[in-house]
Structure 1
Amino acid sequence: MTGPSKTVAVIGAGIVGVSTAIWLQRDGHSVTLIDKGAPGDAASHGNGGVLASCSVVPVTGPGLIWKAPRMLLDPSQPLFMKWGYVPKLIPWLWKYMRHANANDTRRISRAIAGVTSDSLSDHLALAEGTGAEKWIHPSDYLYIYNDRKHFEGDAFGWGLRRESGFTWEELEGQAFRDYDGVFGPELGFAAKLSDHGRISDPGLYVKDLARHFEAQGGKVIRAEFEDVARENGKVTGVRAGGTLLPCDSVVIASGVWSKPMAEKLGVSVPLEAERGYHLELVEPSIMPRAPVMIASGKFVATPMDGRLRLAGIVEFGGIDAPPSRAPFALLKKNIRAAIPGITWKDEVEWMGHRPAPADSIPVIGEVPGVAGAYLGFGHHHIGLTGGPRTGRLLAQMISGRQPNVDMSVYAPSRYTT
């Protein structure tokens, strides 16, 4: 830390907020973590559990504008829509689809890599000495295809991974079976990336991190955020739960709920709630060796403690509508096709909200014109993967250090009103 110790309020107790709080605490600041819910709930509980450093390919790839309508009309595809929500979605969707071209996709990919590129090491550094290390498991990560031709159909995305420095081993036919023989005969090709990892219980992992933060003198407050108090263009406090908490700096890291909070500071992010689903198979009869992405169904299967978590469905419909049944049915259909003969003793269903900015790039940095106000949200599908790096970058900025990452691509200034 290059400057004096500060009093900092972090709004949001998911992986980004908890990571920020811990790194700030380690820099010697007095930190309070504020959330209306318990740490590790919401998307930080429900994610796929993969430390997917290689997930640098945004959804808005070239040709999406033509593929998406067909996907919506095909019940076997992992894209769903609450049709009554479409009028509200259109302004965001228009901006989102404008990035579905090769040049923007490359630019977005480089930005994503800046917060995901070494996720396993980032998590190990964050969790060191916290008691949360037990949830982190180094592993391979496999993208599984029907065959080589199917894999080559994703050449653009694999080119982006190569540009970000990723390498992989191609396993075909018997070589793939020798690595892991649980998958059905229709799946005959895999791209295996090493130096990745998985979290065997994401929700408990974040809760353990938060408990350590609290044990080290940090404060955790269950309260609803109301506003940021300011004087002469500087943060002086945070109002939450009817109480004013004095502070020098504030970080808004509340995922999809960050949008209205940021608007109070003059930053209007075109952000939509992407409804994500997961289905956990309790005590499955077959467990994959490593986390996998099944390309045909675009879903992830991650081994966890005593269960297999399936995730990857996308649905648009806002934050208020109840879960749909079709996504859970599709996940069951897809896992039975991928691993024939799999059975399980019980199921656990979850639906939550991923914060999806229209340009697919997280918003990270200080708010223009409000000294001491920082934003850290909008991670779309990479919240768990990029959370620790994001928290460290924010702590460096608040502590007066220059991050070794070009922060201009994440700057809130691109959305100031």
Structure 2
Amino acid sequence: MQGEDAAGSAGRRAIVVGAGITGVAAAIRLRRMGWQVTLVDRAPPGDRGAASFGNGGILARCSIVPVPVPGLLAKAPRMLFDPGEPLYLRWSYVPRMIPFLARYLSYGREGQVRRIAAALAGLTGDSVDEHRALAAGTGAERFIETGDYGHLFRSRAAYEKDGLANAIRAEHGFVPYEVDRAGLLERDPALGEAWTFGAIYPDHGWIVNPGAYVAALAEHFAREGGVVRRAEVEALDGTGRVTLAGGAAMRADRVVLAAGAWSARLAAGLGLRLPMESERGYHLALKNPASRPAHPWMVGEVKAVTTPMDFGIRMAGIVEFGGLEAGPSAAPPKLLRAAAARIWPGLEWEAEEEWMGHRPVLADSLPAIGPIPGAPAVVAAFGGQHVGLTAGPRIGRLAAEIAAGQALNEDLSACDPGRFR
């Protein structure tokens, strides 16, 4: 077992609830500190039902601007009724959504956007290094690619139109270099003629198979003495007791709650009610395409990200509010398929695969990291929204350090789980 700080940790027990990227990262970090760790989830790590399986795969260091921005509130009604826009609502779910949406959109004022972006920059800025450190010496290393992250536009004027987001990214050190049509074609020869300008952010990364990556990390955790347990968690208490479906119970000195979109239900059992919803995300996998880009693209006009992966290209980028219970909708994959045709007219591929999963989003677009009020043994580590994969290793590491009682050298007050009380 690798030892980061095993002194004084021998015999201490931790339970990590949730085997996505954040939970696996927390479990590995605690194990490296010498703790006895059990990782619990109803599905195996890397399962296709998890957000860590189906995300866009990009380690998007510069993705610090939240979805609610000035002007979104005015545009939201039109977007909801336009099938060509990437925002969807399950209308049967609307009555339950209204309080959350009102609060969510209220954070779109410029001052709030800048505050949120500053907190997100602290969590995403070193994401490539965090992933490398987490995966070092494991079979997961081979899934990490590094390189540029391009934002694709029809013109330079289209890029400049998003002035606030560009300015915020620049304030946090993310300044792109520009490429023209010829430079774009060197990176992606299949791009349609409409695309003439690229803003390229260097020093990013992506995971070429997110599900296999998380599974490989969990396999390493088990080889190093960690325990992976398939079970559904029904309840927690503040002292470290975890109740499983069927009535069985486990107990530990510390519990890390990293159950993604399902975390709010478990936190509510501890007396912490959070304004949190599932942003149902979709992806479309284009398998064995005739060509693929050299690096990921964000294509704002079609509201999609495209990532080269080991099977081909993954397209993602839809937001649908519809809760945790309803099945997939038909419209989002159609929109992604149409986006592919606009980005790469004439590109052919052998097969497709559609996916829908649940991004955990709190009303202010920031995660919950830290002790849960009134539950001293439980540490929150959830709410990564669109940057869950990007920030997962860092959030998991911070949660592990908090659980282990280590002093942190950064201010996490913006992510305090009790901030909505």
Fold conserved between structures, TM > 0.5: yes
Is 1:299 aligned to residue 304 of structure 2?
A: yes
Number of the residue aligned with 2:86: 78
Number of the residue aligned with 2:415: 410
Match of 1:22 among 19, 28, 43: 28
Number of the residue aligned with 2:382: 377
Tell me how far 1:132 sits from its aligned partner: 0.5
Number of the residue aligned with 2:281: 276
Is 1:238 aligned to residue 242 of structure 2?
A: yes
Tell me how far 1:84 sits from its aligned partner: 1.6
Is 1:360 aligned to residue 360 of structure 2?
A: no
Give the whole-Å Cα distance in 1 for the aligned partners of 2:208 and 2:382: 24
Structure 1 residue ranges without an equivalent (≥5):
none
Number of the residue aligned with 1:264: 269
Give the whole-Å Cα distance in 1 for the aligned partners of 2:299 and 2:40: 37
Give the whole-Å Cα distance in 2 for the aligned partners of 1:381 and 1:108: 13
Instruction: Tell me which amino acid in the other structure corresponds to 2:345.
Output: P
Tell me the percent identity. 47
Of residues 242-251 and 168-177 in structure 1, the stretch that sits farther from structure 2 once superposed is 168-177
CA RMSD in angstroms comes to 1.3
Structure 2 residue ranges without an equivalent (≥5):
none
Instruction: Tell me which amino acid in the other structure corresponds to 1:328.
Output: P
Number of the residue aligned with 1:46: 54
Give the whole-Å Cα distance in 1 for the aligned partners of 2:409 and 2:162: 31
Number of the residue aligned with 2:37: 31
Shift in alpha-carbon separation, 1:12–1:236, aligned structure 2, 3 A: closer
Give the whole-Å Cα distance in 1 for the aligned partners of 2:62 and 2:240: 40
Contact 1:276/1:352 (8 A) holds in 2: yes
SS at 1:144 equivalent: strand
Give the whole-Å Cα distance in 2 for the aligned partners of 1:377 and 1:226: 17
Instruction: Tell me which amino acid in the other structure corresponds to 1:164.
Output: H
Match of 1:311 among 310, 316, 320: 316
Number of the residue aligned with 1:350: 355
Q: Deviations over 1:142-197 (max 9, x none)?
A: 01011011000111101111111112111123333344332111111111011101
Tell me how far 1:251 sits from its aligned partner: 0.8
Q: Deviations over 1:76-114 (max 9, x none)?
A: 111111112111100100111111110000011011111
Instruction: Tell me which amino acid in the other structure corresponds to 2:360.
Output: P
SS at 2:218 equivalent: helix
Number of the residue aligned with 1:198: 206
Of residues 368-377 and 354-363 in structure 1, the stretch that sits farther from structure 2 once superposed is 368-377
Instruction: Tell me which amino acid in the other structure corresponds to 1:238.
Output: V
1:91-106 correspondence to structure 2 within 5 Å: 91-106=99-114
Number of the residue aligned with 2:16: 10
Give the whole-Å Cα distance in 2 for the aligned partners of 1:138 and 1:277: 24
Give the whole-Å Cα distance in 2 for the aligned partners of 1:286 and 1:250: 46
SS at 1:267 equivalent: coil
Shift in alpha-carbon separation, 1:311–1:236, aligned structure 2, 3 A: closer
SS at 2:298 equivalent: strand
Instruction: Tell me which amino acid in the other structure corresponds to 1:389.
Output: R
Q: Deviations over 1:335-393 (max 9, x none)?
A: 11111111111111100111111110100001122222110111110100000000111
Structure 1 residue ranges (4+ consecutive) displaced by more than 6 angstroms after TM superposition: none
Of residues 197-206 and 316-325 in structure 1, the stretch that sits farther from structure 2 once superposed is 316-325
Of residues 379-388 and 393-402 in structure 1, the stretch that sits farther from structure 2 once superposed is 393-402
Instruction: Tell me which amino acid in the other structure corresponds to 2:37.
Output: V
Contact 2:256/2:403 (8 A) holds in 1: no
Give the whole-Å Cα distance in 2 for the aligned partners of 1:114 and 1:267: 25
Shift in alpha-carbon separation, 1:3–1:98, aligned structure 2, 3 A: farther
Give the whole-Å Cα distance in 1 for the aligned partners of 2:70 and 2:114: 10
Q: Deviations over 1:15-61 (max 9, x none)?
A: 01000000111111111001111112210000001010110010011
Is 1:214 aligned to residue 222 of structure 2?
A: yes
Give the whole-Å Cα distance in 2 for the aligned partners of 1:403 and 1:144: 38
Contact 1:32/1:220 (8 A) holds in 2: yes
SS at 2:137 equivalent: coil
Contact 2:240/2:378 (8 A) holds in 1: no
SS at 2:132 equivalent: helix
Tell me how far 1:394 sits from its aligned partner: 1.0
Aligned residues: 412
Contact 1:25/1:31 (8 A) holds in 2: yes
Instruction: Tell me which amino acid in the other structure corresponds to 2:45.
Output: P
Instruction: Tell me which amino acid in the other structure corresponds to 2:26.
Output: T
Give the whole-Å Cα distance in 2 for the aligned partners of 1:78 and 1:95: 20
Shift in alpha-carbon separation, 1:270–1:16, aligned structure 2, 3 A: same
SS at 2:225 equivalent: coil
Give the whole-Å Cα distance in 1 for the aligned partners of 2:46 and 2:172: 30
SS at 2:37 equivalent: strand
SS at 2:375 equivalent: coil
Tell me how far 1:3 sits from its aligned partner: 5.0
Q: Deviations over 1:384-410 (max 9, x none)?
A: 000000011111112222222211111
SS at 1:382 equivalent: helix
TM-score of the aligned structures, taking structure 1 as reference length: 0.96
Number of the residue aligned with 2:149: 141
Give the whole-Å Cα distance in 2 for the aligned partners of 1:324 and 1:370: 38
Instruction: Tell me which amino acid in the other structure corresponds to 1:113.
Output: A
TM-score of the aligned structures, taking structure 2 as reference length: 0.95
